[in-house]
Amino acid sequence: MEKILIIDDDQSIRNTLTGYLKKQDYEVFSAADGLEGIELAKTELPDLVITDIRMPGADGFEVLKCIKEIDPHIHVIIITAFDDMHSTVKAMQQGAYDYIEKPLEIDKLKITIQRALENKKLSDELNSFVGEKTEEYELKNTLIGKTPQMKQVYKKIGQVSTSRVTVLIQGESGTGKELVARAIHYSGITKNHPFVAVNCTALTESLLESELFGHVKGAFTGSIRDKKGKFELAGEGTIFLDEISEVSPNLQVKLLRILQQKEFEKVGGENLIPMKARVIAATNKRLSELVKAGKFREDLYYRLKVFSIDIPPLRERIDDIPYLVSHFLNKINLELHKNVNKIPEDVTELLKNHFWIGNVRELENTLMQAVVLSSDDVLLKENILLRKTEQPSGADKHVSKVEYISLEDLDKRHIKNILDALKWDKNKAHKILGISLPTLYSKIEHYKLSPFEKEAD
Ligand SMILES: Nc1ncnc2c1ncn2[C@@H]1O[C@H](COP(=O)(O)OP(=O)(O)OP(=O)(O)O)[C@@H](O)[C@H]1O
Ligand SMILES: [Mg+2]
């Protein structure tokens, strides 16, 4: 029987919970304050602790800390007041499994408890298997962000990394879909196996097919030997199907079959090969809309969406921006041997107010440019070159704006914009543009650009 410890100074909550959980066949203990609760936890070693935050003696945070010291695998669920978002976030950051709000809703409570206990069982099983994360992993794959939206993403990563269910990750370009896929892979049961990424846009249909499933010798012209596909190479690890929306109808059928039957054939081959890898798919399009438009198979969509993670755009979690900025500055400084670490208030404001159509990737690139341009340790506003984006409004939100101009015109206009923004400092401009100084000079001449008059277009 699983043991649950309830800690709350409110007697009526203790009684209600105890009565209800006993009926559900759990062994229940309860304590009226934090210290008593901690003592009980030491002797009873519960599977789950449900604790209030505000209590005399030791509060919920203290309880959480002590429980995690007793055994980091005991899950702690926090009971919070509705207006107490701040402590909820803090509790989640300090390792609480989840939170439930007062007044308690029995159905929600039941599900949360079941999940917590299930998750503990799995993590107990995994315990011996999952080793320490390497430092390199931490550096390359750390997801930054403390907003509730990101906390939700972390929670989902935690939930799904202990099993092999198929995952669909959706989010705008640059929101960190691949990073999330890697986090799932490296934090769970797949971590000691390969992570194999396939970009579904990169190749023609037949090449993609052989890339995914492999081919046998002689399957088509030029196939002079057997080749393993990515599904096979992934072994018991993860196969990451990036830009899944781009897969042709034909391949969609094949993928569906693989997901259903857990086996596949090489191109031109006859033997069925078992598929052991976990599939994670990602897309920056709304698959449900493609399904509606008849461009993506509904059955495949549901197969992929067994567990789905939506990553919100950066502009919907602007409180993460300061953390991301300092994370990227560390990374960029290291790479460029610079030391830009002072961020004026108005720069933070500027970054928080930008629309970030390219999300975290755009932020990272903007900071990279700014560091290149910086001559001391201050991140100056004038070095932050923001992409001009018109905020899509209402109806045309999902329609990307197309400008019917030639590449040459675009080149000309872009160079002029950068030069103007930099007050015609050509030394800075050529670095930003990624071309040599002589090339910049020849382009200025070719396009007859000058700082004085407004370019006629
Ligand atoms: N939360 C985050 N914390 C730290 N770095 C992040 C975060 N999100 C994204 N990044 C960084 O931003 C860049 C873009 O992330 P990623 O490639 O995972 O995005 P994506 O959603 O796959 O984009 P696309 O749809 O364009 O393929 C990467 O350099 C990644 O390391
Ligand atoms: Mg990607």
Specify if 134 maps to a domain: no
CATH of the domain at 119: 3.40.50.2300
Say which residue the tokens 């506003």 belong to.
381
Reading the chain (457 residues) residue by residue, the pLDDT tens digits are: 899 999 999 999 999 999 999 999 999 999 999 999 999 999 999 999 999 998 888 899 999 999 998 888 899 999 887 566 667 777 877 788 888 888 888 888 888 898 888 877 766 654 433 334 444 445 456 788 888 898 888 888 888 888 899 999 999 999 999 999 998 998 888 988 999 999 888 657 887 888 888 888 877 766 677 788 899 999 999 999 999 999 999 999 999 999 999 998 888 888 889 999 999 999 999 999 999 999 999 999 999 998 999 999 999 999 999 999 999 999 899 888 899 999 999 999 999 999 999 999 999 999 999 998 888 999 999 999 987 765 555 444 444 456 677 888 889 988 998 888 888 888 888 888 888 888 899 899 999 898 865 544 4
Does 386 lie in the same domain as 420? no
Closest CA to 230 of 204, 257, 256, 267: 267
- Of all protein residues, the one whose alpha carbon is nearest to atom 8 of ligand 1 is 176
Does 302 lie in the same domain as 253? yes
- Of all protein residues, the one whose alpha carbon is nearest to atom 9 of ligand 1 is 176
Q: Which helix (H) or strand (E) holds 31?
A: strand 27-31
Q: Are 318 and 352 in contact (CB under 8 A)?
A: yes
Which-ligand-closest: CA of 358?
A: 1
Q: Under DSSP, is residue 378 helix (H, G, I), strand (E, B) or coil?
A: strand
199 DSSP β-pair partners = 242
- Of all protein residues, the one whose alpha carbon is nearest to atom 12 of ligand 1 is 361
For residue 176, how far is its CA from the centre of ligand 2 (angstroms)? Answer: 7
Mark which of 243, 278, 311 sits at the end of a domain: 311
For residue 373, how far is its CA from the centre of ligand 1 (angstroms)? Answer: 23
Question: To test ligand 1's pocket by mutation, which of 147, 156, 170, 175 has the most ligand atoms within 8 angstroms of CB?
Answer: 175
Does 92 lie in the same domain as 22? yes
Specify if 121 maps to a domain: yes
Mark which of 67, 93, 126 sits at the end of a domain: 126
- Of all protein residues, the one whose alpha carbon is nearest to atom 30 of ligand 1 is 176
Domain enclosing residue 16, as ranges:
3-126
Q: How far apart are the first and last CA of the chain?
A: 77
Mark which of 98, 126, 154 sits at the end of a domain: 126
Number of domains in the chain: 4
* Cα dihedral 425→431→434→436 (10° resolution): 80
Does 341 lie in the same domain as 251? no
Tell me the pTM. 0.62
Does 389 lie in the same domain as 282? no
Does 328 lie in the same domain as 253? no
Spacing of C-alpha 36 from chain mean position: 39
Specify if 453 maps to a domain: no
Say which residue the tokens 């999300």 belong to.
359
Strand order in the sheet with 75-80: 27-31, 3-7, 48-52, 75-80, 98-101
Does 246 lie in the same domain as 147? yes
